[in-house]
Structures are given as C-alpha cells and as structure tokens.
Amino acid sequence: MRKIVIICQAPADVQYLIDLYRRKQLRCDSIFVINVYNVFLFLQSLKLDDVRLYFIPYKLFSCKNVVNVIKEKKRLSKIWEQYKDIFYDSDIYFFSIYEDWVTGYLLNKIEHQPHGDIYYYNHYDNSNLYVRRKVLWGNRIRLLILKYITGVSFKGEIVEKFPEYQLSDKITTIVPVCEYHKEFFYKVPKGKNCMLFLSAADDMTLFTYKSYILTVKKIVRELQTKSYNVFIKAHPRVGIQKELVDIVGVNIIPEYIPSEFIDTQEYELCLGFESTSLVGFSNNEIKTYSLLLLLDIISEKRCRFMMQYLTTMSGGKIRFISSTDF
C-alpha cells in the first residue's frame, strides 16, 4: 500500500482529494491545505480516519518592501524544516501549476530529497484558454523576487495565471476521472429552491462593486416574489460581503462547504456571475444562468474571456442573461 501526501490548493480540488483518500491501494498519510482556510475547516468536519491535516497560509507581502521579502523567504524555509520529514519517501499529489508559489516551493524542495512518485493531478488547468505573451517588466521583477524567495524559476507568460510552475521530468501528469462520494454532500430540504453563487468581488477590474451589490439584492427580491427559496453560497476564500450579510429571507450555506459538495438534486435554478461553481450545476442539468451582463462592466475584454471560459467548461449549458426576466 503506497503512502501518499496530498497538497490541496483550491476548493475544486477537494472532490479529487476525497477520491484519492478512498482508494484502497493508497494510504493517505497527510493533507496540506494551501491558503484557503475554509477548505481546511471542511476537511476537518469530515473527520477522515488516520489523516493528518495541515494548513499553510499565504502571507501577503509587497515586492517593494525588502524586509517583507526576506521575512517571506525565512517563513517558507521554516515551514519546510517543520514538515520535510512528512514528504520524505512518500508519493506526492498536487493539482495546479498556476498562481501558487508556495506549492511550487514545496515541490522544488521535495524533488531534491528522497521521495516517491510526484503526480500532477490536473483536473482543471487548461493553458489553451489563455494567450501566452511576452512577460511584462513588472512581472519580470516579481519573477526574480519569487526566485529569491523560493529558489524556483517560475514562468510568467500567462498574465491571468501568474506565476506558472515549470514541470520537471520527475513529475507525472494525470488527467483524473473522479467518483462522487455522496455521503459527504450538503443537502437541503425539498422545495422550489434556487442557488445563488456570490462573486469573490475582490478584484474590481471586471465590474463595479456597486453594481454587483445592487444586482444581488435586486435578484434576491425578484426570486422571492416568484416564491423561490433562495440559498446563497459565498466564495470560500473571501466570504459574504458585508453589504449582503443582512439580506432578509435567504438561506446561507456555510462558507467552508465546497460547491462541488452541494447536492444539486433539490435545486430548480442556479445563478451566479463569474463563478466556476456554475459549471457543476449546469453539468447536472440544472437551469444555470450567469448574471455578468447585468453588471456595469469595466473590462469588456475580461468579460468576454470569462463568458468564453464558462461556455467552454459547461459545454454551452450556462446561459448569459441581460435582464431579470429569466
């Protein structure tokens, strides 16, 4: 029986992590959750037998602040010294090569000590959706700073997925097929139910924050007049926005529940903005709509990209509406 260590980098990884955990030929020894504390809480709630759970947060630092850069380098070094024996002679599974220099740092360290096989369990990375460009000067500087901090030569040609870890020939890529383990699903009572996925709304380059808040409130009122039971799911990394906390008459799904573990069977309708959680509902034959076009768009280019991305991922099942008359 192979001993494995899993590095979980995002909420979407959890269903694949559980699938690995349940395989009889593998023994999951440890799980490291990178940055998303709500994923760590969810895994804790599952009470997985004989598995050690660890959480490694990101520390925000400014590349312009030399002291903070040095502190981050020391922090990562301390993390490695604390956990390196766990990775020793184990098979390693991770899920993404993008936007995660902490996992890149760990992989680089693992490759330089005795280890088992390393598997890139790629269930959502798709470089074909992005255009590679000449690296911007600002990102070139960031890459040099990340090289100093981590010892890793990251790539930066995909602006939307910065930075990118370069796979070595020691890493095996697997495109997994996942079995759903419904015993872990979050269920709601039967009824005329609608799911509304909130946006992270932490990067105000796609749409204006004001239009987003107003649209959420308007949509909820419209749904309630049509006798829907409205369930709201906030982004697990940022939670529910303070302006939306006091919306009357809605059901709030706990933030730590990954959308992939929400039982879709009891929903008639699913709404959201740019959330990839829409894809799962649409693929389960739930009427699914994006509300992006109801917002005041800042970047038409980014909006077109998100629409193309959601359309591609859902096989055209997600519809984009420009009025609330859906």
Q: What is the mean pLDDT of residues 265-273?
A: 96
Identical fold between 2-170 and 186-320: yes
Backbone angles phi, psi at 299, to 5 degrees: -115, 105
Integer CA distances (angstroms), 44 to 33, 38, 48, 274, in order: 11, 10, 8, 28
Burial degree of 5 (CB within 10 A; 0-12, 13-18, 19+): buried
Residue 192 confidence (pLDDT): 97
Predicted local distance difference test score (pLDDT) of residue 81: 97
Alpha helices in 23-65 (DSSP H): 37-46
Return all residues near 272 (Cβ < 8 A) that are at least 6 apart: 196, 197, 198, 199, 278, 288, 289, 290, 291
Q: What are the structural domain ranges in the chain?
A: 2-170, 186-320
Neighbours of 191 (CB within 10 A): 12
155-181 confidence digits (pLDDT tens): 999 988 999 999 999 999 999 988 777
Q: What is the pLDDT of residue 65?
A: 86
Residue 326: pLDDT band by 50, 70, 90 thresholds?
A: low
Confidence band of 23 (pLDDT split at 50, 70, 90): confident
**Could you tell me the sign of the dihedral formed by the alpha carbons of 31, 96, 179, 234, in that order?**
positive
2-170: CATH topology: Rossmann fold (3.40.50)
CATH class of 186-320: alpha beta
> Would you say residue 46 has pLDDT above 80?
yes
Residues 14, 146: Cα–Cα separation, whole Å: 27
Confidence of residue 203 (pLDDT cuts 50, 70, 90): low
Q: What is the DSSP letter of 239?
A: B
pLDDT digits (tens, 9 = 90+) for 78-99: 999 999 999 998 999 999 999 9
Mean pLDDT of the chain: 92
Taken as a whole, the chain contains a residue count of 326
**Tens digits of per-residue pLDDT, 100-146?**
999 999 999 999 888 889 999 999 888 887 889 999 899 999 999 99
Six token digits for residue 137: 């000067």
Coil vs helix vs strand at 98: strand
